[in-house]
Structure 1
């Protein structure tokens, strides 16, 4: 059941009142073009295999959430999302929280675990970024071409509706802006005390293995990498069985 949290202007995938308070809760954080529906049935499958509550939400401006309040971002836009996430955890009185973040969602997970270590039990990231590199920028440039020359816009509109143009423009304009080239959150990594599983596809079109190496090397908690061969930026879709097994093992061992 979808419920609206007015104070955060977000759309949730489940009613937290139905959660088992004795179980951990995995919160799914979507990517820069994502939303609840684009996770498909992966959260439910992980819930069954790990015996955890699961919750995903559309960040403001995405999916079925409210429209963006601001139509221009600065270098702290992911920090703001980490703050919103922390407020959401408090508002819903969630305990033993595990974060599963994809791309932008992965960066948000890293920031939240560093800024609010007492709220986070563990984190799983896929294709997370901690700095800007040429692979990221080229991937976004290629996406711009696809948006203008293929049916990518129509595909995204199925999920974001009238917000589609803003979703795509704010992503591309922010990351391709000259002022964003020195964006870097590596200084936050030592503040991550919980265990983490850092997943990346070997052929990720938006980032190199340097992203994974930096995260694993600089976090304070027990951090392990999972590099999956022959897949790109969305391992949970491209190699579902592998990701499901490894993330299940990770959550059960926390």
Structure 2
């Protein structure tokens, strides 16, 4: 299977410095991070690695993309395999958004990965009523051909299928009671949580739930007048929070 990836900054020989690994949102891809990866590299002076998950962007298709347990498979199986394929064997810092933020937290429970810390922007660890309302609003928006056409710039001819399958998954019966508590209870790595106060998919309840279960240091930042995409809607604030968090990890230079 072909997996598209891109580096922002060059990893050091033998990967002596940590790599920031980006995990995109539920309908996203590397290109949809826009300028953020470059900004992140410039702010942290660390190499940044981004990839399109199978079924997205410029990567190949995946037959079971949105069957029940798809996020778990991304965290437990595909992420470690993609890191190995990319030659990333040293320390990493995970940074994910939305679906990618959830995968980030799941992966942070994996002690076999050399994770120094994890940054989770607008994750979903429980399904709130606002989450369902937001999904149904997106479903209505998806009936607008302009919405699909805009996304097709990134996902090509499979865009309609991608949107339909992703929405169907999160509006299916299994999603109603979905949670990831078993993962959260196994996290011993420092976590930075970032979310906008105007996020239409989740509230501060997500942060409260995470804080009550993880076994590690946990910092939560709610950004005022910011929606579901903090790294684009409040880039300067996010970069400041991320760089402060990475500095607090006291990584070897």
Calculate the TM-score normalised by the size of structure 2.
0.92
The equivalent residue for 2:71 is 78
Give 3-state SS (helix, strand or coil) of 2:198's partner. Answer: coil
Q: Deviations over 1:200-253 (max 9, x none)?
A: 100110012111111123111111001001111001111010001110111122
Secondary structure in 2 matching 1:10: coil
Give the aligned partner of residue 44 of structure 2.
Answer: 50
- SS of residue paired to 1:143: helix
Q: Distance in 1 between matches of 2:55 and 2:113?
A: 28
> What is residue 176 of structure 2 aligned with on the other side?
181
Q: 1:94 aligns with which of 86, 89, 97?
A: 89
Taking structure 1 as reference, are residues 41 and 15 closer, same or farther at Cα in structure 2, changes over 3 Å only? closer
Q: Distance in 2 between matches of 1:233 and 1:19?
A: 30
Tell me, in whole angstroms, the C-alpha distance in 1 between the residues paired with 2:196 and 2:57. Answer: 25
Q: Deviations over 1:60-99 (max 9, x none)?
A: 010000122236511x110100121122223323311000
SS at 2:164 equivalent: helix
- Alignment of 1:66 onto 2:51: no
How many residue pairs get aligned? The number is: 245
1:231 corresponds, among 223, 226, 234, to 226
TM-score, L = length of structure 1: 0.92
Q: 1:241 to 1:207 in 2, by over 3 A?
A: same
Q: CA deviation at 1:15?
A: 8.7
1:198 equivalenced with 2:193 (yes/no): yes
On the 8 A contact 1:117/1:193 being kept in 2, the answer is no
Q: How does 1:99-118 map to 2 (within 5 A)?
A: 99-116=94-111, 118=113
Structure 1 residues 247 and 125, CA, compared in 2 at 3 Å: closer, same or farther?
A: same
2:159 is matched with 164
Q: Where does the alignment leave 5 or more consecutive residues of structure 2 unmatched?
A: none
- The 1-side partners of 2:65 and 2:210 are apart by 30
Deviation at 1:179, TM superposition (A): 2.4
Provide Cα deviations, 1:40-59, integer angstroms capped at 9, x if missing partner: 11111111111111011000
Matched, 1:19 2:32: no
Match of 2:208 among 190, 210, 213: 213
* CA distance in 2 between partners of 1:100 and 1:11 (Å): 18
Q: Name stretches of at least 5 consecutive residues in structure 1 with no aligned partner.
A: 1-5
Partner SS, residue 13 of structure 1: strand
Structure 1's consecutive aligned runs of 4 or more residues displaced over 3 angstroms after TM superposition are none
Residue 115 of structure 1 aligns to a residue whose secondary structure is coil
Q: More deviation in 194-203 or 81-90?
A: 81-90
Partner residue of 2:30? 36
C-alpha distance in 2, partners of 1:216/1:180? 22
Q: Give 1 or 2: higher helix fraction.
A: 1
Superimposed CA distance per residue, residues 82-141 of structure 1 (whole angstroms, 9 cap, x where no aligned partner): 121122223323311000000000110011111345421110011101111211111011
